[in-house]
Structure 1
Amino acid sequence: MRNVFFLLLIFTSFTFAQYLDPFLQTKVNKLSKTGSEEILPLILSGDNSLADELIKNGFTVHTDLGNKATVRIPRSSLDKLLNIKGLHKVTLGAKLNPLNSETVTYQNVDAAYAKGYTGTNVIAGVIDTGIDFYHPMFIDADGNTRILYIWDQTVTSGTKPQGYNYGAEYTQSQINQDLNSGSPHSVVPQRDTNGHGTHVAGTFAGLDLEIAPPDTLHGGAKTANIIFVKTTMSQSDILDGISYIFDKAEALGKPCVINISLGSQAGPHDGTDDFTAAADALTGPGKVIVRSAGNDGRSYVHYYAENVTSSDAIEFGYTSLLSLWIEAGDNVGSVSLSWNHGSINNVVKGSHSSSGNVTLYLDPASASNNGQIAAWVVIDDSTGISQDDFTLTLNSLSDANSNGTIKRHAWSEEHAFYNPYGAFSQGTLYDYPHFPYTLSNGSCGDKVIVVGAFVSRHYWTSINSQPGQSWFSPGTGENGGITYFSSIGPTADGRNKPDIIAGGRLVLSAKSKDAASYNSQYYIPPSPYDEDYYYLSYFFVRNKSSLWSEKLVFPVLKYL
């Protein structure tokens, strides 16, 4: 009972030295009501000696970046953690979401292959939903796996990777043993029931040697070895996945490129949040991260205004989370939130208030790495309010830095704002508006390569096509053109992103045998691809084999 009372006391105010992000506060408040225990994957920020202090006090540090570290602790250990000397900030963060034949052709990989860039002696790392290691795209000519390691972060039993106290690691030898066992998954139980990770890995580094004629269906880095992390989608665990893959590649003496086709709109979109900054810090020579730009180019996920006013009422529909950032140096007195079934009034800086499953936070400028005041709306259950109209009101706004503007950026996780910012036409080929500032928050880092999407195909054939018939997707652009859904920049601090584009519309790639949802006959290709392949539409596909295009291969090589 003491722990529950202590935790409730912590989350009543920000009077403690450490800042706890809204996602952690919401999670612990919810757990405190039920008395439930749960493992919390956390990103910690503090002094440069932070990791030493954590280890001295009995905590296991997974990723150490000097003034940042990742840990996993039970809820009951949070009070002990908050007593660590030099700890300033504790972040749970928003969970990320899962954001090739003609695709590869459009990316000029043949020109790169002609120069010898096929992926040989390079590690292709993937962090995603899992991988179907039985798929022929990941098996070499001798029948052995091309996958060197799989780390399944989502399980609680099995051999943990060295340096990490969770998940299960499977080696190339164990994967080969499973392939030859006659009893699938008896040695390596990891499966990809979602399907996204298998599709991504196939487009990035797959090569199907069973297809005739040979070398007609492959990803970009077709001769690379693969290291795969099946992630929990938590920000801390994804950082651990990056560290794990880079460390394995370094031990093998090989350069590495990691693909992360996952994202969220939560954050300042300027690269300063702890998750994005930590990912940047993990890159370097021989260590490259490629991230998808996102699929929100036509979605109402961004609001912006800069007029000087004393108040601003921002209207939106249901969304699981929303964050708003006020220009550094400017001020707001309080924030309020109203919706059809409730309201929260006058939350001041450094506090929060809840009504039902809705919580409104107002963080002071000192809580962020960019010096901006931030408001957060977090809704952990949509029951009864999924059709409500919401209004976030900023009270007593002031142009405290006297520059003639009060810039206000806001992002929602779902298509929510009633008055999104900056819609413009994509031209006569498209029937949809396009919106700037729609990049995924994690794609706003300074050192990651960010990839937008072009139309891989808008005509395609499937197993239910009649002879001579092709399916057509109207209003989505011509092959090779920018897709209508691809997220675009700039970042909130004005940098141009994405860096390049790659195929992202109706991409044909590996289908996991365990992904039951990949069953629409419209997206199953005709024989001989119908058993093992699937077209994915925009709501899943992200960046992949762009790493090996003629236009990108040389910029990447300067890091490798």
Structure 2
Amino acid sequence: MVGKLKPAFKLATGAGGKAAAKPKSKAASRRGCKMSASLAALLGAPRKRTPLGAMMAFGVQGPVAPADPTLHVLVRCTDTATKSVAGVPLAKGAGDVMTALVPASKLAKFVAAPQVQRVSAPRMMRPLMDIALPLAGVPKYVKKTGMSGKGVIIGIVDTGIDLTHPDFTGRVLKLWDQEIAGPGPGDGLGNFGAVLTGAAMTVSKDVHGHGTHVAGIAGGGGQAYPGVATGAEYLIVKTNFQNSAIVEGVRWIFAEAAKLGRPCVVNLSLGGHYDSHDGMDDTSVAISDECGPGRLVVAAAGNEGGDPIHAAQAVTAASPGSFGILVKPRKSLESAPYFLVNGWYSGKGSCEVRAVSSTGANTAWQKLIATDPAVKTYTLGGDTVTISTPDSAAPNGDRQFVVEVQGNAGPVQGGTWKVEVRRKSGNPGVVHAWLLLHPDRPSSARFAVPVFDSLIGSPGAGLDVVTVASYTSRNTWKDLSGEEESVGLAPDTISEFSSPGPLRGGGLKPDVAAPGAMIASCLSSASAVEQGNVIAKRYRVMAGTSMAAPFVSGLLALLLEGKPQTTPAQAKAWLKKGSSIPNAAAGKHDVKWGYGLIKV
């Protein structure tokens, strides 16, 4: 269970919407903020509830956190050869972004260390084929080339896998379950979870079913509903879905594949919106840095194509920004326990931020804060507002702010809230904001004036990651009892839910589209599933970019069998060559389709 974090820094909240000042650190004052806005907001939120998407403190098994919870953070240092900070070991991969398990009691000392440049928050991500194979030309390609993915590793970082499913018999080499007690994988990675092999792997259960379905699409070996690369073998990470743990999962898979001398493609059918949406956030950079010859990563674009969770406004001296947020009433079944606004703007300017409740009460205008944690809390009626505005640029040169609102004795006050942004100096340009909600209440709030673009977050925003949109290959099927089932998606076109690009700043994403609805694949025996989605014994249908991504992972496993040193750029070129958008010129990119539906 998620632990309730006691802030590592004592934060006092005054009455009437006024925030009490925090003691300042001289070291922090000299160097400016090193904590990301998300980490500061995490530390500053009231202890009665773990902030939205926050970390699970390691070792927490109940609703009360240990006296000294551990944070799994992402770290950048001035010297990438640094092995430890303040007595805390650093886990390093191929690039500049490292990870560390930092006890909350050591966080202030860790951040203040002179070799530390930036520390980012642990944030939770979430998991986002019968007729699909012919649609993409897979049977013909396999027959022509003789490729099956033999000798190639497919890595799956997801909810786990059903080792008892016959489609995976003898093909899963190792499994790192990050949610069970253990010493971790060693080799400089985090000391959490357990690596299992052989019969011991069956103790790890996929109770969600998402990972099993994804693995089946990529390479399931069944006759009735085969995957794409039926000759490949697997390395599985059952992740806890913290971004830092996902990064370590990718590193572990590539390290294990390297020990075997095998090329590898890692599938990430997961994501979130806590990042900068430009591919330069710590998670996206860390994963892209792991890519290289024979080391490919595929990610889902996301399923928020129709969700009103992105807004953008130009902010100038004469024109401040005002982001209206429509929150469901407290008595509604869709009331909001909390909501969070993740804002970004150009580092060429500086802004002040405030929140205005639906009652008209407002916080003070909060300017940039030069000390860690750069956060203040305010009380507006029955709600608590946490605002983080660090006076430091992120690695992409931009500034981030976070505004989180939570109800003190129940849901957040309903009505129209506002997050207002005004220019203080320079040219902040366009301010982008993303709205994050309770995962069980996705309709509890929305932007009043949304923009339906730039909805691909990390890790799909990664520049070396192959990012996949979803194409609806069918919208009807027969369940196990022979009953005709259907879903309200238009067939033979891009799926309505598929998240569009471009990246913030204009980068082209997604890369390609692949069948993602409704896809038949393996059913985990440990998962609960509606019978209407069960199409045969041990098989079910699911929809999402989560299903489209492993389709492409399987295709790249076929490519790697013949060309084991394929680079990310070469893989993208190969996919682009065989992709097309209906009624569009060859080579055209579209924010929903990418370069089009893949065809090999």
Q: How would you bin the TM-score normalised by the shorter chain?
A: 0.7 to 0.9
Mapping for residues 160-239 of structure 1, pairs under 5 Å: 160-164=185-189, 165-171=191-197, 174-175=198-199, 188-208=202-222, 215-239=223-247
Q: 1:24 is matched with which residue? A: 39
Q: 1:400 is matched with which residue? A: 426
Change in 2 beyond 3 A, CA 1:367/1:225:
same
Aligned partner of 2:490 among 458, 474, 477: 477
- The answer to whether the 8 A contact 1:315-1:389 is kept is no
Q: 2:172 is matched with which residue? A: 147
Q: 2:587 is matched with which residue? A: none
Q: Does 1:90 align with 2:107?
A: no
Cα distance between partner residues in 2 of 1:204 and 1:556: 17
The worse-fitting range, judged by mean Cα deviation, of 255-264 and 377-386 is: 377-386
Q: Does 1:241 align with 2:249?
A: yes
- The answer to whether the 8 A contact 1:465-1:471 is kept is no
Cα distance between partner residues in 2 of 1:363 and 1:456: 46
Q: Give per-residue Cα distances to partners, 1:54-79, cap 9 Å, x unaligned.
A: 3xx53232234564211112222323
Shift of 1:305: 2.1
Q: 2:69 is matched with which residue? A: 38
Partner secondary structure for residue 250 of structure 1: helix
Q: 2:541 is matched with which residue? A: 535
- The answer to whether the 8 A contact 2:229-2:558 is kept is no
Cα distance between partner residues in 1 of 2:409 and 2:303: 26
The worse-fitting range, judged by mean Cα deviation, of 88-97 and 324-333 is: 324-333
Q: Does 1:7 align with 2:9?
A: yes
Change in 2 beyond 3 A, CA 1:331/1:5:
closer
Cα-Cα RMSD: 3.1
Cα distance between partner residues in 2 of 1:342 and 1:264: 31
Cα distance between partner residues in 1 of 2:24 and 2:125: 26
Q: Does 1:515 align with 2:527?
A: yes
Change in 2 beyond 3 A, CA 1:41/1:378:
same
- The answer to whether the 8 A contact 1:47-1:67 is kept is no
Q: Which consecutive residues of structure 2, in runs of 5 or more, have no partner in the other structure?
A: 1-5, 13-20, 49-64, 328-335, 438-442, 572-600
- The answer to whether the 8 A contact 2:304-2:499 is kept is yes
Q: 1:429 is matched with which residue? A: none
Cα distance between partner residues in 1 of 2:415 and 2:44: 25
Aligned partner of 2:90 among 61, 65, 68: 61
Q: 1:432 is matched with which residue? A: none
Q: Does 1:373 align with 2:399?
A: yes
Cα distance between partner residues in 2 of 1:551 and 1:124: 7
Change in 2 beyond 3 A, CA 1:379/1:31:
closer
TM-score (structure 1 length as normaliser): 0.82
Q: Does 1:443 align with 2:468?
A: no
Q: 1:103 is matched with which residue? A: 132
Q: 1:544 is matched with which residue? A: 550
- The answer to whether the 8 A contact 2:11-2:44 is kept is no
Shift of 1:43: 0.6
- The answer to whether the 8 A contact 1:344-1:360 is kept is no
Change in 2 beyond 3 A, CA 1:159/1:81:
closer
Partner secondary structure for residue 7 of structure 1: coil
Matched length:
505
Cα distance between partner residues in 1 of 2:149 and 2:207: 27
Q: 2:160 is matched with which residue? A: 130
Cα distance between partner residues in 1 of 2:429 and 2:272: 25
- The answer to whether the 8 A contact 2:265-2:556 is kept is no
Cα distance between partner residues in 2 of 1:60 and 1:488: 39
Cα distance between partner residues in 1 of 2:104 and 2:242: 16
Q: Which consecutive residues of structure 1, in runs of 5 or more, have no partner in the other structure?
A: 140-144, 179-186, 209-214, 423-434
- The answer to whether the 8 A contact 1:111-1:550 is kept is no
- The answer to whether the 8 A contact 2:471-2:514 is kept is yes
Shift of 1:553: 4.6
TM-score (structure 2 length as normaliser): 0.77
Cα distance between partner residues in 1 of 2:519 and 2:22: 49
Q: 1:524 is matched with which residue? A: 534
Q: 1:495 is matched with which residue? A: 507
Cα distance between partner residues in 1 of 2:356 and 2:395: 25
